[in-house]
Structure 1
């Protein structure tokens, strides 16, 4: 799917740039004046959760679970697609953008590099594009978003926030098999990815991504397995659907049991 097709084109007001994150960004994304009573009335018959955000430990299978859930619900999944869209907008390759993905800004870039408002450094541009894309995806609804701190940006009351975990040993073995590297190398990779993601959320959103209170559901993919973990998420979404949609969901559950997922379609991301 081409990035231009995956994401709607939006022209939001200037949020004040990455340096104003998270205060002005939060106001820009969610501070628009609305009639709360009318909004609550219109949502009375709507689904409880409009989107699913999956936070994950490296090698826990969060990306794979997200794809299974999206297929079961017939929703869109946004993981590597986010990178591809941002790369297109920045006129860079996906590999070049991956350098900045879920990486908090360095002190050198934030305070030493002379930046003009009209000329962002690559990482700053990435963060601005990321915020705008997540906001657009959230408005569209029926999306599964993997990582990128999306659960800390989208409205909590209408987002099913999920954390996928697994013991380090299990994650290391999985990474070793997928990357074709030694256990020692895989363990270092898992630790570095976890550190990078935690630092991103702590810096950009001022939260501890390991705190279970930040999520609606925390699942151990090693003890449950990927399929059961995905099923728990699907059931939560279906339980929160409107009565009309719930009937469709019930009919879906009369069909054969959980469909087995195909091999991972993105072997370039062993930490999914």
Structure 2
């Protein structure tokens, strides 16, 4: 059976812990740029890989995801897609959740509503690869910076419904700290214990821990496990209230993480 070629994805580190993603076409020497917080590392990566940019995809308005748009537009005349409900300088194609982006040389790009970190946050799904900005992290999720807990919970549940094989390309290297918190919540989770050990080895070797798989997140990320008895019990004990709703568990869990300091 014929299979579509896999799209290579290039990791472009930026600032201290950001990741910018270059999605390379399987058909031509072009790339989609996801969340360019700064331009210089993108320009260098494009030159090193001998790629020409095709378009820019923005998940939300924060500067560490948008700061490179203007400089990149000085070099390349390409469209910039971003959420219609957020004010982002340089966006030429405001888009809605449910939109389908078609770019020559690339599979269809599905736009998902993943508000909560910011109210208008969107994510992009292409070739079973999820580019989710600051909504879902490896081992965690984004803070509430303008959005609401019910909104973010709904977004995470929608992402959880994607196939287990989905690759998760988040925008920050927060995995080790996220898993340290997760282990506080679920100390008996053996999959989590093993993932934390492996993650610490990766970081000690200077390797990125992203992307992860959605199956891995479902097994170890407490924010996708708010219906699990162990998570519900831990959060109920922390709050001193018997929480039975996964959304209520999520809300309290996010507050717990906001104040968490690892030892």
Give TM-score, length-normalised by structure 2: 0.24
Give TM-score, length-normalised by structure 1: 0.24
Whichever structure has more strand as a proportion of its residues is 2
Whichever structure has more helix as a proportion of its residues is 1
